[in-house]
Copies of this chain bind each other. A is one copy, B any other.
Amino acid sequence: MKKHMSIGMNILGFGAHAAAWRVGEVPADAYLDVEYYRNIARICERGCLDAIFLADGPALVGDVATQPVGRLEPTILLTAVALATQHIGVIATASSTYNDPYNLARRFASLDHISGGRAAWNVVTNATDAAAQNFGLANQLQHAQRYGRAEEFIDIACKLWDSWEDDAIIGDAGTGRYAHPGKIHTQDFVGQHFSIKGPLNLPRSPQGRPVLVQAGSSEGGKALGSRYADAIFTTQTSLEDGLHFYRDMKQRAEQWGRNPEHLKIMPGLSTVIGSSEAEAHARFDQLNAYHGEHGLIQQVAARIGIPAQELELDAPLPWARIGEVGTYEKGSQGFLEAQLNLARREGLTVRELSRRILVGHRLLVGTPEQVADTLEHWFLAGAADGFNIMPDMFPSGGEVFVDEVVPLLRKRGVFRHEYSASTLREHLGLPYPQSQYARSLA
């Protein structure tokens, strides 16, 4: 089969545009309604997308006065969504800083069992003080500590997922032999952050291990992702940056002794789509009008970590001040760097930057053809194995992508016409991971 791109869709909240809830496509409490998400997932599945994705963080952040900022817990919500779909993968974000490996490994393995092999864990370290303060810490752990913990966390999670070999269960009711004790392995893991005996209290799940997604584009994030992840969500604001990141990550994967094809690079892309360019821009203008100038400034301020009162909408970014902040530790480093690079490179004002970025990712305002062109171009140029799409607004922004962009990608031979497999790992073209304990007995 010809190689095709992978596509995930970020289904958080009302869509990528902060004012999406105000347009009134769905009620203002829809983001608490499981049927709202199930509907979006079914739309994505009708387009044969690889996966839906939920971002997350364990804290209330954002302005409650003007934004619907609450969030259902992703593994619970995606369990509900998985059971309303048959093929599409479900990628839940969870923090390696604010979870325990045993509970988290079990929860994702449970979701993998229940979904028939469609679960993925998007590993984040949570770079906010707000999260830290809900877990007994005055401030977040330093970057290096978070990533040290994340590495050990992933290592032990994989060991737990491998702890039952594939053929550990006999299940012979006649003789009463349930399992081979020799094929169920304790870990007796003692590391710097965790010590865990194991084994997991759950047999191996359909994918062997849930798919691992990693979203950090900092140096620590790249080292971690290239070593352990199956897919990387990344923010890239120019093709050149994208090409560079792609080559860098594939090389890193090889240095870890991995087949670079088994590390999928998936840049994020926010979309505002109209049947003409004018229509797309009108849609965007409408959303921005709801948001207002104050909203735009606040959005940029929150993202670059500079108070809103220090920003002017039609002035360049305050570069001296940004230099001061220096070793920025209050947000995702990868997101921040990508945005600052974009603004510096193109000399953007605050307003212009706000129109080029939504939820931290590159924004494309245009026709289905223009979106398909970009995806195809990045894919064929070798800057992406796939994309994480963040439509401006649900359901319409998801529907127009699936019904207008996907058919163009199919025509151009770069996306599937139907699902050929049943697990997310297979959709992504990833091999089934043998249990590390099975190898030792071979």
Which A residues are within 8 Å of any B CB, using their own CB? 19, 21-24, 27-29, 32, 34, 57-61, 64-73, 75-77, 79-80, 83, 98-100, 102-103, 106-107, 110-111, 113-114, 130, 133-136, 164, 169, 171-174, 176-181, 184, 194-203, 290, 292
Contact = CB atoms under 8 A, between A and B. Distances in A.
Contacts of A72: 110, 113-114, 202
Contact of A64 (B110, B111, B179, B290): B179
A134 B173 contact: no
B79 A172 contact: no
A380 to B, nearest CB: 39
A27 B173 CA distance: 9
A201 B179 CA distance: 42
8 contacts: A28-B178, A59-B201, A60-B198, A64-B184, A70-B202, A73-B106, A102-B134, A136-B194
Contacts of A107: 73, 75-76
A186 to B, nearest CB: 9
Contact of A103 (B24, B69, B77, B98): B98
A184 B66 contact: no
Nearest to A28: B171
Given A69-B201, A135-B196, 16 more contacts: A21-B178, A22-B174, A24-B173, A28-B173, A34-B113, A60-B198, A60-B199, A61-B201, A66-B177, A69-B178, A70-B203, A76-B76, A76-B111, A99-B103, A134-B197, A134-B198
Contacts of A194: 136
A176 B59 CA distance: 22
Contact of A83 (B75, B80, B103, B199): B80
A180 B113 CA distance: 41
A353 B188 CA distance: 36
Nearest to A60: B201
Contacts of A79: 76, 79-80
A325 to B, nearest CB: 23
Nearest to A183: B64
Contact of A22 (B34, B135, B173): B173
A102 B34 contact: no
B100 A179 contact: no
Closest 3 CB pairs of A and B: A28-B171, A133-B197, A73-B110
* Of A67, A76, A113, A169, most B-chain CB atoms within 10 Å: A76
Nearest to A27: B171
A29 B136 contact: no
Given A72-B113, A114-B76, A135 B59 contact: no
Contacts of A68: 171, 178-179
Contacts of A169: 28-29
B136 A196 contact: yes
Contacts of A177: 65-66
A360 to B, nearest CB: 18
A60 B200 contact: yes
Contacts of A24: 173
Contacts of A102: 58, 98, 134-135
Contacts of A21: 173, 178
A23 B23 CA distance: 58
A340 to B, nearest CB: 28
Given A21-B178, A72-B114, A173-B23, A201 B58 contact: yes
A6 B80 CA distance: 28
Nearest to A114: B34
A180 B69 CA distance: 12
A195 B136 contact: yes
A352 to B, nearest CB: 23
Contacts of A98: 100, 102-103
